[in-house]
Amino acid sequence: MQNILDFNSISEIIKRTINLYFENALPNNEPLIISSELLIYAARTTAESLTSSNIQINGNVLEIPGTIQLESDTIYDTEYIIYPTINNEVKFEVSFYTSGTYLDYKLSITQQTSVNLNSEPIYVALQGNFSENKNYECSYLKSDKIWTVNGCEIEKSSKNEIKISLLHQSTFKVYEIPSTKTCKPGYGPIITSCAWILITIFAITIFYIIDKNQEEDFQNSNKYTIYAFTSIFISQSKTRRIWSMIYLFSIHMLFMFLIGICLLNFTTPQLKSDKNFKHLPNESINSGILAWFLTQIFAFPNYYCIFNKYVSIKKTNFAIYTSLSLSIVSIVGIIFMTTIYCNVYSYYWIISYFVFLPLQIVVEILFAVIVWKRQKNTMDIQSANVIPEVAELCKSRIDGEEFKDFDKSTKFQEGVVLEEFKGFEKSTKFQEGVVVEGLQNSGFCQVLDLN
């Protein structure tokens, strides 16, 4: 009761101070700002000036949305008060009034009338000793001086700042509440890892059976075998699709592991929390971004060595063994972190992985383009080197004196052939004469003459 009386006394003094300011204030004059342990902001503005405005006092922000519905010729008074912190409670007040009109260049000031702005929620950001790992509640002071949990909601809390949405104007307070939840581990990362393990083992077994008789074809390369995800659907030599699965498995295990590690830099996932799952917090987004960039440091070298057919087998084997080692380390790390992280952070952890998964798929397309162009260049260089060698082999190496010797040898062989042919001709004629003479002696020719 004493705290309420003290608060009411302070509030009354502040009201008198603000009323003195408004007695002589004109629309869009300099606002009243008092900055000490007690923070006060008061201003008289036109409707146009109030829309989409950001009011700040020492980093404490009052955000008026652009969807606010105001009467264009009405004058509005705004009061934003932040009281000193008492017993870890931060009290603040947001009030709006109409105080006249400005129409046809005529200003009319009237008595203040309290008004609720017809708009989306108004947002307040308060500076103080807040923490993202603690739980807070917001309530407002009713006319009967009773605090009620209604009309405001904690949007998010971070180090030294808390953001609150207000559904109406009033006096509000923000305070810490004990957690009602226990730190139960979540199993999302482990379930996802087990799914990857089962898919990888099954795929490697199938590919080994199907592709064991396939031979490597360097001349007819398919560009789709360079991309990790499409490679596993194309029949290749007995190791290529197995290597593709090992790469995919290792990189995604590493990515999940690094997200869990990066969460430690932005939050405290070992602590229990009453946070809900309405939206992905900035801490998880930042963890995902950092983990994704770190993953690429290992991803591209391994990708290049595994999918480029012209990389030496020694480098390829090194990339394969590195990928397997990273997989083992990542799985052990994921299991360990899952057992100590509270359920809410495990949820954010796995959601971050699936949010950035499409980005990893896209960047691997870029990897595939780079490797394919590099591989094509190597093929073109090898082809260009083979053609001159074949032409050199086909070129005649007989010239000069060698050609003269070859010509003499050819003519000599030609003479030998002619002499042999003449001898053959004489022999043939001689044999022909012997046959004719024999026929004449036998009377065969006489018989022919008689006929």
CATH number at residue 160: 2.60.220.50
Residue 446 in any domain: the answer is no
Domain identity same for 202 and 248: yes
Where is pLDDT greater, at 345 or 275? 345
Reply yes or no on whether the pLDDT at 329 is more than 90: yes
Where is pLDDT greater, at 450 or 170? 170
d(CA 384, CA 368): 24
Domain identity same for 169 and 203: no
Domain identity same for 126 and 231: no
Where is pLDDT greater, at 347 or 402? 347
d(CA 112, CA 44): 11
Domain identity same for 194 and 270: yes
Residue 264 in any domain: the answer is yes
Reply yes or no on whether the pLDDT at 438 is more than 60: no
Give the β-pairing of 170-177 and 152-158. Answer: unpaired
84 neighbors 38 (Cβ within 8 angstroms): yes
Q: Output the six-digit token pair for 12.
A: 């009354």
Last residue of one domain, picked from the residues 346, 363, 381: 381
75 neighbors 101 (Cβ within 8 angstroms): yes
38 neighbors 65 (Cβ within 8 angstroms): no
Domain identity same for 104 and 218: no
Give residue-wise pLDDT tens across range 7-59. 777 888 888 899 999 988 999 899 999 988 889 999 999 988 888 888 999 88
- How far is C-alpha 357 from the chain's CA centre? 6
- For 71-119, the DSSP string reads -TTEEEEEEEEEPPPBTTBEEEEEEEEEEEEEETTEEEEEEEEE---BS
pLDDT confidence of residue 21: 92
pLDDT confidence of residue 216: 60
Q: Bridge partners of 69?
A: 118
Domain that holds residue 91: 7-177
d(CA 337, CA 346): 9
Side-by-side strand order, sheet with 60-63? 54-57, 60-63, 122-127, 161-166, 152-158
Burial of 114 (0-12, 13-18, 19+ CB in 10 A): exposed
Domain identity same for 373 and 292: yes
Domain identity same for 329 and 224: yes
Residue 206 in any domain: the answer is yes
Residue 441 in any domain: the answer is no
Domain identity same for 60 and 171: yes
Confidence at 412, pLDDT banded by 50, 70, 90: low
Amino acid (one-letter) located at 406: F
